[in-house]
Amino acid sequence: MNISVVILAAGQASRMGSIKQLLYFNNSTLLRTTINSALASKAKKVYVVLGANYKMIKKEVSGKDVSIIENLNWKEGLSSSIVSAINHIEDSKIKPDALIVMLADQPNVDSNYINKLISKHQNNQQKIIASAYGNMNGVPAIFPQKYFKKLLSLKGDKGAKILLNTNEVDVVSYTPTSTKTLNDIDSPEDYQNLIKKTL
């Protein structure tokens, strides 16, 4: 099964006050940690979407076995990165059967979690597999190829969240075993709490 991962890392992270993707974590950075998890999973290919601070962050990604997609419209929000990724993939010779969309600021989403989503997808290949945030669905999520066109219609900074919580799509929710798995790092306080727990 041909499944690719798209890591969304194009945002400016204005709340953080620094380049979030390059924050030090676990002898690496937040972005590299996410890339390593994706590469260690059963996914066939890994894409990283960059935008703000493109040149600086690209240096962090170079040397990795990933394909970089530049989102020139990153100021339009998270959805623009998903659209950039789909457009890039639609132009490629071999399209994946499904796409995993994940964020660069969820360092507890490891290869084991990604593989669990993939296993769930193998039993539900025509359905979206989404991560459960209580009563809401979100990313990381696996989108079968038949939903790529719907992803192209996304707008704003909510990413795929609105689509994942409508009746327009068939979604299977997956609840992680740990509540910490889906924690994202949005503020200096979030980052300090993350660091404290890893010391």
Cβ-proximal residues to 93 (8 Å cutoff; 6+ apart), any chain: none
Q: How many CA atoms lie within 13 A of 20 on its CB side?
A: 29
Neighbours of 106 (CB within 10 A): 22
Residue 157 has pLDDT above 90, yes or no: no
How high is the pLDDT of residue 15? 73
What's the mean pLDDT in 161-176? 94
Q: What's the pTM?
A: 0.95
pLDDT band at 158 (very low <50, low <70, confident <90, very high): confident
Domain carrying residue 22: 3-198
d(CA 198, CA 85): 32
Please report which helix (H) or strand (E) contains residue 113, including its range: helix 111-122
Q: Could you report the per-residue pLDDT of 128-146, keeping only the tens digit for each?
A: 999 999 999 999 999 999 9
pLDDT class of 198 with cuts at 50, 70, 90: low
More confident residue, 198 or 179: 179
Among 110-114, 144-148, 195-199, the range scoring the smallest mean pLDDT is: 195-199
Look at 46-50, 63-67, 99-103, 169-173 and tell me which has the smallest mean pLDDT. Answer: 63-67
Cα four-point dihedral sign 151, 153, 155, 158: negative
Residues in the chain: 199
Q: What is the enclosing helix (H) or strand (E) of 50?
A: strand 45-50
- What does the longest C-alpha to C-alpha distance in the chain come to? 45
Mean pLDDT lowest among 96-105, 114-123, 179-188:
179-188
The DSSP bridge partners found for residue 141 are 101, 130
**Higher pLDDT, residue 4 or 63:** 4
List Cβ neighbours of 35 (8 Å cut-off, separation of 6 or more).
7, 46, 48, 61, 64, 66
CATH at residue 67: 3.90.550.10
| Residues 114/43, Cβ–Cβ less than 8 Å | yes
- Give the pairing type, strands 24-25 and 28-29: antiparallel
Peptide bond before residue 140 is cis, with ω within 30 degrees of 0: yes
| Percent of the chain residues topping a pLDDT of 70 | 98
Q: Shortest CA distance to 67 belongs to which of 154, 9, 22?
A: 9
CA–CA distance, 191 with 174 (Å, rounded to integer): 26
| Radius of gyration, CA atoms only, the chain | 16
H or E stretch at 152? helix 148-152
Quote the number of domains for the chain: 1
pLDDT digits (tens, 9 = 90+) for 2-46: 999 999 999 987 777 789 999 999 889 999 999 999 999 999 999
